[in-house]
Amino acid sequence: MANAKVIQAKQEAVDVVTAKLRESATTVVADYRGLNVSQVTELRKQLRDAGIEFQVLKNTLLRRATAAAELSELDEVLTGPTAIAFSTDDVVAPAKILNDFAKKNEALKIKGGVVEGRVVSVEEVQALAELPSREGLLSMLLSVLQAPVRNFALAVKAVSEKEEQGA
């Protein structure tokens, strides 16, 4: 009977991780080997503050979850100690936080990830990390949208000033 309960608990854990893999906008897989407790605590705090869930999971559990979520290509990076960051809201945040942390702490190694249902390489995660934040992108978009209106207003002002000088 105890064996059936253990199997049931493991299956529920696989189901939870499968759901997270399917629902997350971005999932980043990393090797945390070599980080001390205070470094892991700092990383968890940074991720938590950004609304990102960070877990250390067994590779066998992850492989079953990736198979159920149809993301089996991710299995090739599931070796050694594996930590995984799930973000349902911000696509860039987990990659940016983990990449910045890895630059300061060489022990953290990004292995790969999943972005909007597609398995991506380490290089793609790092490229994603270099993108501006959502707020930065919105700011850029706003200034692009304001430019034509601003230019039109300046042109109207220049014409009115020219007419005032001529009168």
Top pLDDT among 104 and 136 is at: 104
- The two most distant CA atoms of the chain are separated, in Å, by 99
Contacts (Cβ under 8 Å, ≥6 apart) of 119 = 71, 73, 74, 112, 113
Tell me the whole-structure pTM to 2 decimals: 0.73
Task: Express each pLDDT in 25-80 by its tens digit.
Answer: 888 999 988 888 999 999 999 999 988 999 988 888 899 998 888 888 888 888 88
For residue 43, give the H/E element and its range: helix 37-49
Res. 3: pLDDT tops 80: yes
Q: Tell the residue number behind the tokens 């198979």, with chain if given.
A: 67
- The pLDDT of 114-141, averaged and rounded, is 81
Question: What pLDDT, on a 0 to 100 scale, did the predictor assign at position 42?
Answer: 92
Decide: residue 54, CB within 10 A, 0-12 exposed, 13-18 middle, 19+ buried.
Answer: buried
pLDDT number for residue 1: 53
| Sheet containing 109-115, strands listed edge to edge, beginning at the edge strand earlier in sequence | 53-56, 83-87, 26-31, 109-115, 118-120
Give me the residue label for tokens 């190694």. Answer: 109
Three-state secondary-structure class, residue 55 = strand
Please give the pLDDT value at position 129. 83
Tell me what pLDDT residue 84 has.
Answer: 92
